A and B are shown apart, each in its own frame.
Chain A
Amino acid sequence: MKLFNQKTLEPSGVDTTDNASTEPDKEQPWQELGLKQDEYEEIKNILGRRPTSSELAMYSVMWSEHCSYKSSKIYLRQFGEKVTDEMKKYLMVGMGENAGVVDIGEGLAVTFKVESHNHPSYIEPFQGAATGVGGIVRDILSMGARPIAVMDQLRFGAPNHPDTARVVHGVVDGISFYGNCLGLPNIGGETVFDSVYQGNPLVNALSIGSMKHEDLKLAKASNPGDLVILFGARTGADGIGGVSVLASETFESTGPTKRPAVQVGDPFAEKVLIECCLELFHSGVVAGIQDLGGAGISCATSELASNGGKGMRVQLKNVLLRDESLTPEEILMSESQERMCAVVPKKRLKEFERIVNKWEVEYSVLGDVIDEDRLYINWGHEEIVNVPPRTVAHDGPVYERPVAYPAYQNELNENSSAKLPRAKNAAELATQLMQLIATPNQADKSWITAQYDKYVGGNTALSMPDDSGMIRVSEESGLGVALATDANGKYAYLNPYEGARLALAEAYRNVAVTGAVPRAVTNCLNFGSPENPEVMWQFKEATAGLADACLELGIPVTGGNVSFYNQSGDVAIYPTPVVGVLGVIDDVARRIPSGWQDDGNNIYLLGTTFDELDGSAWAKDIHDHLGGQPPKLDLAKEKLLADLLHGASIQGLIESAHDLSEGGLGIAVLEASLRFNVGARIWLGDVLDRDGIDQTSALFSESQTRVLVSVGREDDVKFQALCDARGVPCLRIGVTDATSGLVEIKDIADLKLEDIRHSWSGVMSGLFG
């Protein structure tokens, strides 16, 4: 694919800065590259002439939505503004870098981030998902950290739609192929099915890395004279124009020159690159480092120079190519995977060479850092780029897009689930519960998670199906981190402000139930077209909700990613703000599983149940209804609950703890029983009396700030006293039973564990083989 055909190229094949001055009026394909008229004019303004075709390529890709955050920037600022000094206490690197860095104590830090690879994963699910993992792992690596785990947040179309299996198989195979081959344990994630994601599945990938404080690296070139070195895989034709085309347009409008090009991944090359980089970092030869992802060399050179407040001189002919026929414009835009760009002091070059040679990694010196606010790129003796780096990397356009309250919103919110028929008797309740546990969204996901290596590294303390993933960071002390991600698109559709808060609260709770203390937040905001004012309203609401909620919980956003244009035709996906919460645990040995294993322990329900079925799994999956308002959320109580769980965990009072979310108490009880195949006897009478609700609500309401815990009899008194002291509502609702093989819910159902397991575990393999 040539982006610049004969018509737009000089006869010599290269458009130089000289040409740009001598032929100022030459027609340029700015529109095809996704630039708007005023953006093109602005480029001419900055340069005082028309851009060369190479400069045009760089600006177009760096000013795309994906790289420049031009529609979201004004809203993302509040994540940096709505913070207190207390929240910044553990924040070593905040938003704006490749990934945020959080101090976890003992001189150690972790860096984590979640990023989308939605569009490529629909076009070519296997490579799209694989390179999604590869990209986020390089982000983590480029902070100086050793990547230690991955997670993935997946949203697919309707399970029975003919195209869904293609996407599911491709995406899961891609993540499995790439992540397993990198030797990174996959410790959790989400899988959701909904027809709104049919033409636009969401594939978000998260990675976390750990490092010593002093190993922190930044993407900047600040010392004139230092060398700029590209190393790793050779540069090929993959992903050319991927960034600007894929992130800026819907699929339907892709013309011939905009054919999206998905990158191809080689996890072996990345694994070697990781080890090579870590050795380079360790030896101290690297002054600055940047991974190559979206926008390739355009991004790496301009960002390194801009971040360092310096300039750079680059010889593009020095780039090692996989395909010698690539044009300079294509080389600048190529998104070939498994490449890194290092800034290395001249006198350390020998040592750099020794290490990359050991790992048999190819490299080439592209140029050097200069004490001038200019990025010069030459193609042989001809100058093809001469720009202020900051204008490419950071001073892109910023839009305040029109915002409009959606026309459908009032009707949606008035359409409450109150009118839906409640179950008439015990038999119907039992049937509904068994129906829900067998829906693809509630069913066992081990068909997916069994394709991922969760053991490699030997530090996985929790993984699926527990509520958080947990990784030991220090083998000496047991210090570790817990990570959970959540998003309920239905809630966010009903109320984007509340939906974002609810996503944060759920991830926060999922971390708290393991005994860890929530410390920091990342996010991946998946939305429709920002050019649609109703979508922009959703985005505005969701970002405000998330920022406000972070402030209230006292944990900062450390970074994240925005993915717009998630729609097919005019139909946008549900706003899906995926929120990840990182927690710290001083010793992973005291982590708490999500299910009960011992016999005769007491089961408690913490929190209050309200009649809240709007947006619930019960409303959607039993009655095919979505409307009303999502459950209400009191973050002060959420904090109280998390503190209680931490205190109880420190004292060793809790044997298991499981967050109540989709499907309510009913689903939580079944999941906690399935975890270790240990049954329970449950009674709901006290909940009905205390909270004034009916059986349907007791089982299926999705009221927030609730957790199901099991407590050894010897710790009962202590535990209840702790709850009373902290003012957390606590009700004994049952007892674990390791012998009966039953989940008995008094007056409602006696369910055999093997029947539940059969219904729950066969769903995914039934659908996808």
Chain B
Amino acid sequence: MKIGVITYPGTLDDRDAQRAIRLAGGTPVPLWHDDDDLKKVDAVVLPGGFSYGDYLRCGAIAAKAPATKEVIRLAAKGLPVLGICNGFQVLVESHLLPGGLIRNEKQHFICRDQKLRVENNETAWTSLFEKDQEILIPLKNGEGGYIATDDTLKMLEQENRIAFRYVENNPNGSMNDIAGITNERGNVVGLMPHPEHAVEAGFGPDTPTAMRSGIDGLLFFESVLKMVVNS
């Protein structure tokens, strides 16, 4: 199973996303922003970072990259796409997902271990979670405050398109505690927190059992691999 990871200039967590795919049992395929050949991958991850230095708006320039245009085209046909942090921002700027992301409420970049609730376990990237399961994965962003119009928020709530909500602490002032959302079809998911940083014991968040042992993020990648196999 091949999962592509796009590298834009300024992408930072691409190698981490590749590692996560490997640990989940998939084959990571590096993709280059300037190349619209997605190499026949079965799914695509848009990783975190500061693509194009966050110039203009976070994700705005990356949304126009040749590779992204191809992602947009194939997403309409059902290609599973996961946007993490800056990748989420790219998905929003590409209009694959609605709403926008603004500077954190307290103006600071924030890096912390964040509890989330899985609100929708019927997407390509969440099917192995239980509904309402609480998970712990790192969050690190400067512009992670999710905003949308009242109508959009209402639509997202009604159509069960909120994939993840922040639990206990809303770190960035996101509306309705939204940490991640999905498109109607469930193949495109974007979230601010970083599942690829909770995939390997020893390098994830602290848990009540042991230091840095949290691997809740692995299920994102295992979910999509399972889906690809089943289709």
Mark A residues whose CB is within 8 Å of B: 173, 176-177, 180-183, 266-269, 271-272, 359-360, 449-461, 472, 475, 588-589, 593, 597, 676
Contacts and interface: CB of A to CB of B under 8 A. Distances in A.
Contacts of B206: 676
B196 to A, nearest CB: 7
A268 B12 CA distance: 11
B111 A271 contact: no
A455 B53 contact: no
B140 A455 contact: yes
A597 B202 contact: no
A268 B9 contact: yes
Contacts of B49: 183
A565 to B, nearest CB: 32
Nearest to A176: B109
A459 B15 CA distance: 11
Contacts of B138: 455
Nearest to B12: A183
Interface string B71-111: 00000000000000000000000000000000000001111
Interface string B133-147: 000001010100000
Contacts of A267: 50, 53
30 contacts: A173-B108, A177-B109, A181-B10, A181-B12, A181-B50, A183-B12, A268-B52, A269-B53, A271-B9, A271-B12, A271-B53, A449-B111, A450-B108, A450-B110, A450-B111, A450-B112, A451-B111, A452-B109, A453-B109, A454-B111, A455-B111, A455-B138, A456-B197, A457-B15, A457-B16, A458-B15, A458-B197, A461-B212, A589-B202, A593-B211
A272 B111 contact: no
B15 to A, nearest CB: 7
B109 A458 contact: no
Given A593-B211, A597-B210, A461 B53 contact: no
A359 B9 contact: yes
B13 A271 contact: no
Interface in B173-197: 194, 196-197
Contact of B197 (A271, A359, A449, A455): A455
Interface in B207-221: 210-212
Nearest to B197: A455
A589 B53 CA distance: 34
Interface of B: 9-10, 12-13, 15-16, 19, 48-50, 52-55, 108-112, 138, 140, 142, 194, 196-197, 200, 202-203, 206, 210-212
Closest 4 CB pairs of A and B: A268-B53, A183-B12, A455-B197, A458-B16
Contacts of A453: 109, 111, 140
B110 to A, nearest CB: 6
Given A451-B109, A452-B111, A456-B16, A271 B196 contact: no
A720 B212 CA distance: 28
Main secondary structure of the interface of B (DSSP, over half): loop
Contacts of B19: 458, 475
Nearest to B139: A455
Contacts of B53: 181, 266-269, 271
A451 B110 contact: yes
A449 B112 CA distance: 10
Contacts of A272: 9-10
Contacts of A459: 203
A425 to B, nearest CB: 37
Contacts of A176: 108-109
Nearest to B201: A589
Contacts of A451: 108-111
A121 B49 CA distance: 26
Given A176-B109, A456-B12, A597-B210, A268 B50 contact: yes
A451 B139 CA distance: 11
B55 A268 contact: yes
A33 B50 CA distance: 39
A180 B13 CA distance: 11
A456 B13 contact: yes
A360 B9 contact: yes
Contacts of B211: 593, 597, 676
Given A180-B142, A266-B53, 6 more contacts: A181-B50, A271-B10, A450-B112, A461-B202, A589-B202, A676-B211
Contacts of A450: 108, 110-112
Nearest to A769: B106
Nearest to A593: B211
A271 B211 CA distance: 30
Nearest to A452: B111
A449 B140 CA distance: 12
A450 B114 CA distance: 12
B50 A458 contact: no
B93 to A, nearest CB: 17
A769 to B, nearest CB: 8
A460 B204 CA distance: 9
Contacts of A589: 202
Nearest to B51: A268
B9 A458 contact: no
Nearest to A177: B109
A593 B207 CA distance: 13
Nearest to B203: A458
Given A360-B9, A450-B110, A597-B211, A271 B16 contact: no
A472 B16 CA distance: 13
A343 to B, nearest CB: 25
Contacts of B50: 180-181, 267-268, 271
Contacts of B142: 180
B52 A458 contact: no
A461 B203 contact: yes
Contacts of A458: 15-16, 19, 196-197, 200, 203
B202 A183 contact: no
Given A183-B49, A268-B52, A588 B111 contact: no
